[in-house]
Amino acid sequence: MRLALIILAYTPFLYPLPIWDYWPWLLIPLTAGVAIVYKSVKCQSMKQVPREALVIFVWILVGMVAAAGALAGVVHLVVER
């Protein structure tokens, strides 16, 4: 009921998007944007861009997940003990 009321009251671009619990997923569109523009600038031919952008997109995500895992491990093992 509360979620339905939030959605009904929501005005795009005026109110923040009601996705407080899903914020880690917002990494994906930003990574895709960075990968596409970066590879469009770097590649000599635009035909190479889709494949190259997909590769770097996956690498950025893997790097981010690894960094998040490592930092979570440091917090769990060092800070919380």
Partner 1 sequence: MSTRASDNVINSSPPVIALAGWALPGLGYWLIGQRGRAITCGITIILVFLAGILIAGVRVVQAPDMSASGNPFQRILQRPWFIGQVLTGPIGITTAMISEKLAASPTYRAIESKARLAEIGTLYTAVAGMLNLLTIIDASHRAARIAR
Residue nearer to partner 1 on the CB measure, 12 or 77: 12
The dihedrals phi and psi of 22, each to the nearest 5 degrees, come to -115, 15
Exposed e or buried b per residue across 61-76, where buried means at least 16 C-beta atoms within 10 angstroms of its C-beta = eeeeeeeeeeeeeeee
The yes or no reply on residue 79 touching partner 1 (CB under 8 A) is: no
> Pick from 1, 2, 5, 12: which binds partner 1 (CB under 8 A)?
12
What part of residues 15-74 is at the interface with partner 1 (CB under 8 A)?
Answer: 15-17, 19-20, 23, 26, 29-30, 33-34, 36-38, 40-41, 46, 49
- Sites of contact with partner 1 (CB under 8 A): 12-17, 19-20, 23, 26, 29-30, 33-34, 36-38, 40-41, 46, 49
